[in-house]
Structure formats: structure tokens, C-alpha cells
A = this chain, B = another copy of it.
Amino acid sequence: MSSSTPHTQRDLQKARTRRALLDAGLALLEEQSLSSIGLREITRAVGISPAAFYRHFRDVADLGVTLVEESLGSLHTVIRAGLTERSDDGERIDHLVGAIARFVREHPEHIRFVVRERHGGVAAVRTAIGAQLDRFAQEVAEVLARDEVSRGWSPEDLRMLGETYVDHMVMTASAFLEAAQGEGPPEHVVAGTARRQLRLISLGRRHWTSDRALPAS
């Protein structure tokens, strides 16, 4: 935010190879996990010498953390738009699931990265993803708080709801990804399940009472 890229030809070229490193890393991540990717493997894919890597990142982990911001940044805007959209529950659910499906189709590597490294072997990346998803859940909670249905909800309950939505979104995205590479049920089945689950949540939401006791059926 402080130093926007000076448009000198040199920094421009530097930014280019930096991008190439990030892209190469992301590409290599399709078949292995970050902790098993070698620095040399990345530079080899880009076509530069191993030592040049250090001009851009301290570590492979460092590169990973950068990828986190990138990957989740794009998702952020997509979902935010999808949620704010005003319509009845059914339409909103369809839109949301459709948005996730489209995002996965357009940026498969990004969500593969996030899903794989969310609980992966590199602590720094793990916490970076966790922090982002936290912020994310908080934001979703705030959006949902503005709904009529959320009247009287406690902050903890709203927070819980946000987490539920975010977790569900990540799971759905992961399922779509598996579908795309033929590793699981086909896309339309995944979409169906995702819609059903959102409907389930939506129903639960509508009949929620913030105090602890369940209503005597």
C-alpha cells in the first residue's frame, strides 16, 4: 500500500519474474503440497537460476503467504457481491452456488491451493489462511446481521452463522474442484448437495432462538 510500483522498466521486469515465480508455484501445487516443493523446482520452471529466487522471496513459505492473499482476495469480492444481492432465499442460494461454481471453473488453482494448505504442513501459510477466513467469516456475519431474520440474534450466534457459511463455501468449492477433475461426484450433484445444505441452514436460521433451550417441538 505504501510503495506503489514505480513504472521504471526495471521494476516492471522484476514484477514480471515475480509473477512468474508465483504462477509456477501455484502450478506446481496442483500435484504436491507446498512443504514438498523445492525452491529449485520453482526456479527451474520459471527458467532462472536458484539464487535469483532470493531477490523476490525469503522462503518458499514466504511465497506461499503471498499466494494466500492473492487467492483469497479474489474470492472475497465474488462472495461479498453474491451475498449482498437482495432476493428471496431460493434465488439467493442458487446465485451463491452458481457464483462458487463459476469461480472454481475460472480459478481452480487458487482454491486448490487454499484448500490444500489450510491444514497443510507450513505453519505460516496455515495461519495466514486462517486469519483471512476469520476476517471473512466476520464480514459475512455482518452482512447477514442486516437481514430481517437476524433480528434478536446474539453476536456469538451471528459469528457462528458466518463461520458456518464460510466453511460451507470452502467445502463446496473443494467439492466442485474434485468434480472438475473427475475425482468425485459430478458437478450437478455437488451443486444439488450444496443447495440443499444452504436450504437446511436457511431453515434453521429462520426458526432460531438465541436462548439456549430448544422449543418443545
Chain A 157-189 interface residues, beta-carbon cutoff 8 Å to B: 157, 159-161, 163-164, 167, 171, 174, 183-184
Whether B164 pairs with A197 at a CB distance below 8 angstroms is yes
Interface centre among A90, A184, A200, A217 (most CB of B within 10 A): A200
Docked pose: A118 CA to B120 CA in angstroms: 10
Interface centre among A118, A192, A197, A204 (most CB of B within 10 A): A204
User: Quick one: CB contact mask for A52-84 with B, threshold 8 Å, 1 for yes?
Assistant: 000000000000000000000000000000000
User: Quick one: CB contact mask for A98-120 with B, threshold 8 Å, 1 for yes?
Assistant: 00000000000000000110111
Query: Chain A contact residues (Cβ within 8 angstroms of B): what range?
Result: 35 or more
In the complex, which residues of chain B have a beta carbon less than 8 angstroms from the beta carbon of A160?
193, 196-197, 200
Interface of A is mostly: helix
Q: In this assembly, does A13 line the interface, its C-beta being within 8 Å of a C-beta of chain B?
A: no
Whether A200 pairs with B197 at a CB distance below 8 angstroms is no
Which of chain B's residues has its CB closest to A149's CB? B217
Docked pose: A205 CA to B202 CA in angstroms: 11
Whether B200 pairs with A201 at a CB distance below 8 angstroms is yes
Docked pose: A161 CA to B118 CA in angstroms: 24
In the complex, which residues of chain B have a beta carbon less than 8 angstroms from the beta carbon of A206?
207, 217
Whether B199 pairs with A201 at a CB distance below 8 angstroms is no
Whether A205 pairs with B214 at a CB distance below 8 angstroms is no
> Footprint of B on A, CB under 8 Å?
31-33, 35-36, 88-90, 115-116, 118-121, 127, 130, 156-157, 159-161, 163-164, 167, 171, 174, 183-184, 192-193, 196-197, 199-208, 213-214, 217
Extra A-B contacts (10), CB below 8 Å, given A164-B197, A202-B214: A116-B119, A156-B192, A159-B193, A160-B200, A163-B197, A164-B200, A199-B204, A200-B205, A203-B204, A204-B204
Q: List 21 A-B pairs, Cβ < 8 Å.
A: A32-B35, A33-B35, A33-B36, A33-B121, A36-B36, A88-B214, A115-B119, A116-B121, A119-B174, A120-B120, A160-B196, A161-B200, A167-B171, A199-B214, A200-B201, A200-B204, A200-B205, A202-B204, A203-B203, A203-B214, A207-B207
